[in-house]
Amino acid sequence: MTEARPQTVYRSLLGGDPRIGWLGPGLLLAIALHVLVVAAAFFLPRLLDRPHALRKPVIAHLVALGKPRDSQLLPRKESEPPAAASAPAKPAAPSKAASGPPRQLSRQEMMERALAGAARRTQDEKPDPERAGQETGSPSGTAASAEEGEKYFGEVEDRIHANYVVPSVISERERLYLSATVVIYIGRDGSIVKHVMTKPSGNSFIDQALVLAIQRTRLPAPPAELARLVRDEGLEINFKP
Amino acid sequence: MKRLLLLALAAGTAAHAQRPTIDISGARVQAYPIALAPPSGAPDGSDVMDVLAADFDRSGLFRLLDPRSFLADPAKEGSSASTIDFSKWTAVGAQALVKAAAKVEGDTVKVDFRLFDVPHASEMLRGEYSAPRAALRQIAHRFGDDVVRAFTQEPGIFQTRIAYVRETENGKQIAVADSDGYAPQQLTSGSINLLPAWMPGGRSLAFSSFRNGAGAHLYQVDLATRAVQPLVTMGDFATGAVFSPDGIRFAFSASQAENTDIWLSPIEGGAVRRLTDSRGIDISASWSPDGKRIAFVSDRAGSPQIYTMAIDGSDVRRVTFQGNYNQEPAWSPKGDLIAFSGRDEHRVFDLYVVNVQTGKVGRLTQSEGTNEKPSWAPNGRLLVFSSTRSGKKQLWTILPDGSNPRQITNDPRGASDAAWGPLAGK
């Protein structure tokens, strides 16, 4: 004879229990409310913290230090900004074996000599007393005048521009009609965390040079009000001739 | 639930701020690093390689790497893409590599040239170039032009020639030389001769000469025979001929009744037409590359300035407004720039370019002697001009951004008034 044992029935909580029929819809409501709270916590800060609409920045250059040039005169040659002061390069140590046939230089020695030569040339360069600029300009400025622009983006433009170099062997046509777009994503410390070439130029020499320009560029940290924007949305850079 | 998530994502996307955009223009152009490996075979190969190195250096297209830095042993590694260790060339910064092997057969020198793309470890160009030993330099010029074309898809200018005025003990004479200043040939031998201009086909030059003793007039000289014949003898003087790009007419300056104007003449002869009619002096015509406009110098506003006009003399536009003495316009083959010489506040002439559309003036030379008479290479990548920076007036080349100046003549008495000739076969 078998004894009747109480039967355990496992039910899904979502299925509801016939003994407490109100629990099923209640659970669903609770889950929906939780989802809403999580979604609000995720999206509301974005909605409320949305940066002010930015106007398209005007390209601005650092203004060179100098006196404004009379607009009636022919221009002076645009000069590179003076190099930062650096310690004089140490001359290569004289060889003890002064006599005898000339020794073949190692690559390291040749490189050191070349660097020392470049440093000497930089030191020998006389500042151009007629360099045009503004009396309130910067010694490292690259242009005689500038338009008003968004300061941070102007700085970004200047820094990338310093590395914006294309190879001479591309055709004139390609150089004249050069057009490419790269989006860069800037971290809070100014590092370029990612770059995406959204519109290649069509010439591998140029694309390679643009990627190199981005990789070589060191940017300042963005201001707090732009940090999230340039990190999450990125900054679109249109390269033109 | 899924639908809710999608809606939330869509709302989130819509809430994103607009991505800021900046434009960056004004790319600097950097010469392409190239290694010319020491050639193998006959010693003539080294001579050819020297000419090639000078061509590449002057062009501004290439940066020659110092052979002393080379890691590879060119003799051992051979000259095919399969035997070359490209990592050794990459290590010294080479993007391109040229290898050559020379041999001599009788009086003929043959050079087997190969051009390699170092990053891609592949051969770009190969060919055997030969010439009589007396014309050895042409081998380098021909291969150099082929290299330029392989990279830029544009013709090179190493095989072109330059006409100029040579100072001699018998006065200023018209001469022509290779684009590197070598192999000069004097075409005239007496009187004062100025302002050579290439005629269509590149077989004759027009020039201004005082040879008839009654003011300067226009003549032409055949490069092969050196035969001289009159071209324009009208007025008190006629000078500065320039030929239209289509080669069917030429403009020049002529003075009649003490009024100097720009005139237009069919090349086959016929009625000439006056294009300018101002009370001032209008001289130094230069054609736009599309042949629709002419740049010229006029002092109609009180000082010599650069103007342009349509070829019927209408639609005159002033192009330069800075400086008080701008002269010798030369319209670039691309059409965007006009090079000219201008006198600055130190009363020294220097070279400038003005953008025809924007009017922006850029300076090419500064604080290095007197620099005058710019003339564009037919590919628009180089200019020739005369400069006193090394002493006597000599011909120099320079890039349109004012960099890479290189002296190409060393005439004992000086050289000036350069006119860069057309591309070979044009």
Give whichever of A42-51, A157-166, A170-179 has the largest mean pLDDT. Answer: A157-166
DSSP state of B4: H
CB–CB contact A171 B381 (8 Å): no
Residue B172, in any domain of the structure: yes
Kind of pairing between the strands at B293-298 and B282-287: antiparallel
Residue B183, in any domain of the structure: yes
Are residue B122 and residue B165 in the same domain, yes or no?
no
Residue B90, in any domain of the structure: yes
Are residue B130 and residue B203 in the same domain, yes or no?
no
Tokens in use for A195?
């770059």
Helices (H), chain A: 23-48, 107-124, 151-162, 172-176, 204-216, 224-228
Residue B107, in any domain of the structure: yes
Nearest CA-CA partner of B94 in B78, B116, B123: B116
Question: Which residues on chain A are in Cβ contact (under 8 Å) with B24?
Answer: 59, 157, 160-161, 164, 237-240
- The Cα A158–Cα B192 span in angstroms is 53
- Looking at B152, B170, B199, which one is the last position of a domain? B152
- The Cα B426–Cα B289 span in angstroms is 14
Confidence of residue A62 (pLDDT cuts 50, 70, 90): low
CB–CB contact A107 B366 (8 Å): no
Confidence of residue A109 (pLDDT cuts 50, 70, 90): low
Kind of pairing between the strands at B259-266 and B161-168: unpaired
DSSP output for B30-43 = EPEEEEEPPPEEST
Are residue B238 and residue B110 in the same domain, yes or no?
no
* Interface A:B, Cβ pairs < 8 A: 156
Residue of B5, B6, B23 best to disrupt the A interface, most CBs of A under 10 A = B23
Helices B2-15 + A23-48 axis angle, to 10: 10
Are residue B84 and residue B184 in the same domain, yes or no?
no
Q: CB contact, 8 Å: B334 with chain A? A: yes
Nearest chain A residue to B28 by CA: give it.
A165
Q: CB contact, 8 Å: B62 with chain A? A: yes
Confidence of residue A140 (pLDDT cuts 50, 70, 90): low
Residues 6+ apart with CB under 8 A from A96: none
Are residue B142 and residue B205 in the same domain, yes or no?
no
Are residue B227 and residue B82 in the same domain, yes or no?
no
The pLDDT tens digits for B214-223 are 789 999 999 9
CB B415 within 8 A of CB B373: no
- The Cα A144–Cα B380 span in angstroms is 28
Task: Kindly state the helix (H) or strand (E) to which residue B91 belongs, with its residue range.
Answer: helix B86-91
Higher pLDDT, B148 or A88: B148
The amino acid at residue A239 is F
List the 13-42 stretch of B: residues with Cβ below 8 A of A: 15-32
**C-alpha radius of gyration, chain B, whole number:** 26
- The Cα A171–Cα B144 span in angstroms is 16
Indicate the length of chain B as a whole number: 426
DSSP-assigned beta bridge partners for residue B283: B297
Higher pLDDT, A64 or B119: B119
DSSP-assigned beta bridge partners for residue B354: B338, B361
Planar angle of CA B238, B275, B283, nearest 5 degrees: 45
Residues 6+ apart with CB under 8 A from A176: A241, B334
How crowded is residue B18: how many other Cβ atoms within 10 Å of its Cβ?
A: 12
- What's the CATH code of the domain at B134? 3.40.50.10070
Nearest CA-CA partner of A213 in A189, A177, A237, A235: A237
- Looking at B124, B152, B180, which one is the last position of a domain? B152
Are residue B248 and residue B304 in the same domain, yes or no?
yes
Q: CB contact, 8 Å: A107 with chain B? A: yes
Are residue B144 and residue B165 in the same domain, yes or no?
no
Q: In the prediction, which pLDDT does B372 show?
A: 98
Are residue B91 and residue B172 in the same domain, yes or no?
no
How crowded is residue B334: how many other Cβ atoms within 10 Å of its Cβ?
A: 15
Mean pLDDT, rounded, for A106-126? 63
Look-up of token digits 């087997």: B112
- The Cα B181–Cα B163 span in angstroms is 10
Tokens in use for B5?
């998530």
The pLDDT tens digits for B287-327 are 999 999 999 999 999 999 999 999 999 999 999 999 999 99
Q: Which of A3-17, A57-71, B102-116, B322-336 has the lowest mean pLDDT?
A: A3-17
What is the number of domains present in chain B? 2
DSSP-assigned beta bridge partners for residue B261: B254
Structural domains in chain A plus CATH codes: 13-48 (no CATH), 56-71+106-149 (no CATH), 150-241 (3.30.1150.10)
- The Cα A239–Cα B33 span in angstroms is 23
Please report, in angstroms and rounded to a whole number, the separation of the first and last CA atoms in chain B: 74
% chain B with pLDDT above 90: 84
**With 60 as the cut, is the pLDDT of residue A50 above it?**
no
Residue B25, in any domain of the structure: no
- Say whether the ipTM exceeds 0.85: no
Nearest CA-CA partner of A232 in A199, A197, A198, A188: A188
Residue B9, in any domain of the structure: no
Q: In the prediction, which pLDDT does A102 show?
A: 47
Q: In the prediction, which pLDDT does A45 show?
A: 64
Look-up of token digits 């006629």: B238
- Looking at B120, B152, B184, which one is the last position of a domain? B152
DSSP-assigned beta bridge partners for residue B287: B294
Residue B17, in any domain of the structure: no
The sheet with strand B293-298 has its strands ordered as B282-287, B293-298, B305-310, B317-318
Residue B146, in any domain of the structure: yes
Are residue B366 and residue B346 in the same domain, yes or no?
yes
- The Cα B359–Cα B322 span in angstroms is 10
Are residue B172 and residue B148 in the same domain, yes or no?
no
- The Cα A185–Cα A198 span in angstroms is 13
Range of the domain at B383: 161-420
> How does pLDDT run along chain B (426 residues), one tens digit per residue?
333 333 343 444 444 568 899 999 888 888 999 999 999 999 999 999 999 999 999 999 999 999 999 999 877 898 899 999 999 999 999 999 999 999 999 999 999 999 999 988 999 999 999 999 999 999 999 999 999 999 888 899 999 999 999 999 999 999 999 999 999 999 999 899 999 999 999 999 999 999 987 789 999 999 999 999 999 998 889 999 999 999 999 999 999 888 899 999 999 988 999 999 888 899 999 999 999 999 999 999 999 999 999 999 999 999 999 999 999 999 999 999 999 999 998 999 999 999 999 999 999 999 999 999 999 999 999 999 999 999 999 999 999 989 999 999 999 999 999 999 999 766
DSSP state of B323: S
> How close does chain A come to B43, measured CA to CA in Å?
24
List the 113-152 stretch of A: residues with Cβ below 8 A of B: none
Are residue B135 and residue B257 in the same domain, yes or no?
no
CB–CB contact B29 A166 (8 Å): yes
Tokens in use for B264?
């237009």
Higher pLDDT, A137 or A105: A137
List the 46-85 stretch of A: residues with Cβ below 8 A of B: 46-47, 50-51, 53-54, 56-57, 59, 71-78
Please report, in angstroms and rounded to a whole number, the separation of the first and last CA atoms in chain A: 97
